[in-house]
Amino acid sequence: MCDEAKLGEWARQAISRRQFGALTGAATLTACGAAEGITNAQGAAPGLRERGVSFLTADGTMDGFLVQPENGDHPAVILWPDIASIREAKRNIARKLAAAGFAVLVVNPYYRDVTGEQFADFAAFISSGGFQKVGPWRAKLTAAAIMRDASAIVDWLDRQDGVSQAHGIGTQGYCMGGPFTIWSAVAVPARIKAAASFHGGGLVRPDDPMSPHALLGKVDAQLLIAVAQDDDAKAPDDKIIFAKAAAAADVAATVTVYPGDHGWMVSDSPAYDPTAAARGEADLKARYAESLNSD
């Protein structure tokens, strides 16, 4: 599964591909629009409502983006973004899931340092020195910090109109957000009943007692571990170690290598693969349908 070096390789891929030039141009237009109070946000589709939100945690005020069906009560989903955090690519993932009947919260994991969108897309992240900028913010995202956050997030979600407390909560994460889903499930096992990691990094951390794979005995959730093919090529034993740990903990886990490279699920990544992404979305919805049912 993905390691820290993969992030640098992802950046080099983005810069070297023709797609990077197109994305950078879009990012520039977005930045100009933002300066004039204009946004290129897609906006809520018919039947959905969305808003920016903020709420207190043990470490400060977390902000995020919530989108949900206009009517009725629905299962909640916590979406942990990748290293570039909240942006339109992630909001669009949330909108598609909300259209399928979920109340989806995209959280800002960097809220201890900054508020809201910092990068319009992954191209803007690279071109503006994103790795250097987020380094100090990201260093604070320890297992303990994410667990505190997850407890606050669940508490807040359960008090929102349109969120069903009769259903379990799902959580999904991308790249660095992958392990956050397991830590979230550990923090609130009574409510988080499904966790999905897409090209997640750091799910197996040797000799670390807080490694996600070492904590599976503390979760009560079904898992979808979607591994990128290039991550698997570099660390082929990780998927085996994780699957064995899940079996030992009696946790239902699907650990699968997808035919896509790291970032295949995210539309503004250099490795985006719409066919593989569609498969990932279908597998995610199937996992949620199976595990978030009413009691």
Position 40 pLDDT exceeds 70: no
Query: Stretch 83-94: mean pLDDT, rounded?
Result: 98
Question: Which stretch of 14-18, 38-42, 92-96 has the lowest confidence by average pLDDT?
Answer: 38-42
Q: What are phi and psi of 286, to 5 degrees?
A: -65, -40
Task: Pick 295 or 13 by higher pLDDT.
Answer: 13
End-to-end CA distance of the chain: 34
Q: What is the DSSP letter of 266?
A: -
Q: What percent of the chain has pLDDT over 90?
A: 82
Report the Cα 61 to chain-centroid distance in Å.
19
Q: What is the DSSP letter of 81?
A: -
Residue range 194-214, pLDDT digits in tens: 999 999 999 999 999 999 999
Position 147 pLDDT exceeds 80: yes
Q: What is the DSSP letter of 3?
A: -
pLDDT band (50, 70, 90) for residue 9: low
Residue 255: exposed, middle, or buried by beta-carbon count in 10 A (0-12, 13-18, 19+)? buried
Q: Rounded distance, CA 154 to CA 188, Å?
A: 8
Residue range 41-58, pLDDT digits in tens: 566 788 999 999 999 999
- CA dist 42 to 70, 139, 142, Å? 17, 32, 33
Query: According to the model, what pLDDT value does residue 5 have?
Result: 57
Helix, strand, coil percentages, rounded to 5, for the chain: 45, 20, 35
- The Cα angle at residue 110 between residues 4 and 69, in degrees rounded to 5: 110
Q: Rounded distance, CA 52 to CA 65, Å?
A: 5
Query: Stretch 156-185: mean pLDDT, rounded?
Result: 98
> Where do the DSSP E strands lie in 48-158?
48-57, 60-69, 76-80, 103-107
pLDDT band (50, 70, 90) for residue 69: very high
Query: According to the model, what pLDDT value does residue 150 have?
Result: 98
Q: Are 106 and 50 in contact (CB under 8 A)?
A: no
Query: According to the model, what pLDDT value does residue 294 have?
Result: 62
Query: According to the model, what pLDDT value does residue 293 have?
Result: 84
The pTM score is 0.89
Q: Rounded distance, CA 6 to CA 172, Å?
A: 20
Number of residues that this document lists for the chain: 295
Query: According to the model, what pLDDT value does residue 174 have?
Result: 98
CB half-sphere exposure, 88, CA atoms < 13 A: 17
Q: Which CATH architecture has domain 4-34+50-291?
A: 3-Layer(aba) Sandwich (3.40)
**Which residues is 106 bridged to in the sheet?**
65, 79
Residue range 270-284, pLDDT digits in tens: 999 999 999 999 999
Within a 10 A sphere around the Cβ of 259, how many other Cβ atoms? 11
Query: According to the model, what pLDDT value does residue 274 have?
Result: 97
Position 37 pLDDT exceeds 50: no
Across all residues in the chain, what is the average pLDDT?
89
Residue range 234-270, pLDDT digits in tens: 999 999 999 999 999 999 999 999 999 999 999 999 9
Give residues with Cβ within 8 angstroms of 196, minimum separation 6. Answer: 170, 171, 172, 173, 181, 223, 224, 225, 226, 284, 287
Query: According to the model, what pLDDT value does residue 44 have?
Result: 73
